[in-house]
Amino acid sequence: MGTEPWKGQEFSELVKEGPDYPAVYVSWDDAVAYCKKLSEKEGKTYRLPTEAQWEYACRAGTKTTWSFGNDKKTLGDYAWYESNALNSPEQHAHQVGLKKPNAWGLHDMHGNLFEWCHDYYGKDYYKQSPEKDPTGLAETTTGLRVLRGGSWYHGPGLARSGFRMAERAAGFLLKYYPHGFRLVREVD
């Protein structure tokens, strides 16, 4: 597990370091390794959310395009995305918590950076998955993992609550597709 995976990469200028900035350009493998180390240290179980858990948390009880509704004009109040981030002097993932949270108090569920989910990616998974608490594919021939949330560099469509994308777990990290992660802690 690298502690600073962006160092020496072509995109290191797109990273701002500090306690209020998200870990960015982190592979799925490194995110899982971090969860394991934190679990060992704390004596509790930390992991990446399933895709269904991520979307449930993002939507915060809504069925709209974004957790706050369907009006794209207000997206900038809740997310860093191309329209407000590319015109900002900060050309990288932004400090967390600066935008409004969703109804459940979760910040940065839309935009800023793509977040890894535990699941393997299946293009048509939701068409055939169980309706209640789907756990994702057990495996896939592609080895692709799920990313959700959009990023500071992309448009509003990629920041939708329901937008899904896939990437290799080892993390073929692309300059303008910043990856990060959000943890869940299992309750005993």
| Residue at 164 is within a domain | yes
| Local confidence band at 88 (pLDDT 50, 70, 90 cut-offs) | confident
**Amino acid at residue number 56:** Y
Q: How distant, in Å, are the alpha carbons of 1, 46, 49, 143, 184 from that of 35? A: 11, 5, 11, 20, 9
| Residue at 18 is within a domain | yes
| Residue at 100 is within a domain | yes
Computed from CA positions of residues 135, 147, 181, 171, in that sequence, does the dihedral angle turn out positive or negative?
Answer: positive
Which tens digits make up the pLDDT trace of 53-67?
999 999 999 999 999
- Look at residue 159 and give its three-state secondary structure: helix
- Look at residue 29 and give its three-state secondary structure: helix
Could you give the percent of the chain with pLDDT greater than 70? 80
In the chain, what is the greatest distance between 2 CA atoms, to the nearest angstrom?
A: 45
| Residue at 6 is within a domain | no
- Whole-number pLDDT of residue 173: 61
More confident residue, 96 or 176: 96
| Residue at 26 is within a domain | yes
Give the number of other Cβ atoms within 10 Å of residue 177's Cβ: 18
Give the number of other Cβ atoms within 10 Å of residue 89's Cβ: 4
What mean pLDDT, rounded, does the chain reach?
A: 86
| 87 close to 153: Cβ distance less than 8 angstroms | no
| Domain hosting residue 166, numbered range | 12-185
Query: Domain total for the chain?
Result: 1
CATH number of the domain residue 165 falls in: 3.90.1580.10
**Alpha helix (H) ranges present in the chain?**
28-42, 51-59, 75-78, 82-85, 125-128
| Local confidence band at 103 (pLDDT 50, 70, 90 cut-offs) | very high
| Residue at 1 is within a domain | no
pLDDT(186) > 50? yes
- Whole-number pLDDT of residue 1: 47
| Residue at 131 is within a domain | yes
Which tens digits make up the pLDDT trace of 28-51?
998 999 999 999 999 999 999 999
| Residue at 107 is within a domain | yes
- Look at residue 36 and give its three-state secondary structure: helix
- Look at residue 180 and give its three-state secondary structure: strand
